[in-house]
Amino acid sequence: MLRIEGLNQYYGGSHTLRNVSFEAPMGAVTTVLGRNGMGKTTLLKCLMGLLPVESGRIEFEGRDITHLKPHQRARMGIALVPQGREIFARLSVDDNLRIAMAATGQTDRSVLESSYETFPILKQFARRRGGDLSGGQQQQLAIARALVTKPRLLILDEPTEGIQPNIIQYIEAVIAKLAADRTMAILLVEQYYDFARTLADRYVVLQRGEVLRTGEGQHMDQDGVRGLLSV
């Protein structure tokens, strides 16, 4: 599904991603873990085409996408739920979703309805401005905005950050259900160990831009992954 090979990225002189390689298979949750500043968001921006890479290769469904533009990747079925959510604050919930559909050429109206079924609070607040939602509601909107594009690769950057526990549980259940449907690959970046461990089929630990360890989700405890995340 997604294959990353020998990715290198620099911010000016600082070498931020170092030879990063791993795969995120279809129908599975691959979690990328690492402390603050380890390069997780940078990696996701490279995957989405928001940052150029210096070298290496990104393959999606067998196609080399390393140099494609973000909108081309979005139309191919890659959706990013960015850190900080980045919803359109002045647009209604409904318009936030419709813009994402329009931008990716999605004409299947049923995806809008099914996203509202997944997140009933969004249906209730469909006419409310995005900026007037709580943080947890905005996170649900950001996920719904990705889902209405019918992604085959869903990328989430710290979806639990700054969200209250009951909404975290809800988001966990939604991701678990998406994974169980086996219609997409899910790449989940997290610092919240328990959330990631519950969902992960595979894990990747990033440290200073390098892949430090990889393994199976069910081995995260015995592999000592929690300890790699504590400061």
Q: Does 149 bind Mg ion (CB under 5 A)?
A: no
Q: Does 31 bind ligand ADP (CB under 6 A)?
A: no
Q: Does 41 bind Mg ion (CB under 5 A)?
A: yes
**Cα 107 to Cα 112: distance, rounded to the nearest angstrom:** 10
How many contiguous H segments (helices) and E segments (strands) does the chain have? 9, 10
Q: Does 230 bind ligand ADP (CB under 6 A)?
A: no
Which stretch in 25-33, 67-75, 77-85, 145-153 sits in contact with Mg ion by CB under 5 A?
Answer: 77-85
**Cα 84 to Cα 201: distance, rounded to the nearest angstrom:** 25
Q: Does 82 bind ligand ADP (CB under 6 A)?
A: no
Q: Does 9 bind Mg ion (CB under 5 A)?
A: no
Binder of residue 38, out of Mg ion, ligand ADP, none (CB less than 5 to 8 A by kind): ligand ADP
DSSP state of 91: S
By C-beta, is 83 or 207 nearer to Mg ion? 83
Near ligand ADP by CB under 6 A: residue from 36, 166, 222, 230: 36
Tell the residue number behind the tokens 């409310």, with chain if given: 128
**Cα 161 to Cα 192: distance, rounded to the nearest angstrom:** 8
By C-beta, is 93 or 205 nearer to Mg ion? 205
Q: Which positions from 96 to 135 touch ligand ADP by CB under 6 A, shown as an x/- string?
A: ----------------------------------------
DSSP state of 218: G
Among 183, 159, 152, CA closest to 173: 159
Determine if residue 216 is left, alpha or beta; phi over 0 gives left, psi from -120 to 50 gives alpha, anything else beta: beta
Kindly list the residues in this chain that would bind ligand ADP in the complex (CB under 6 A).
Answer: 11, 16, 34, 36-42
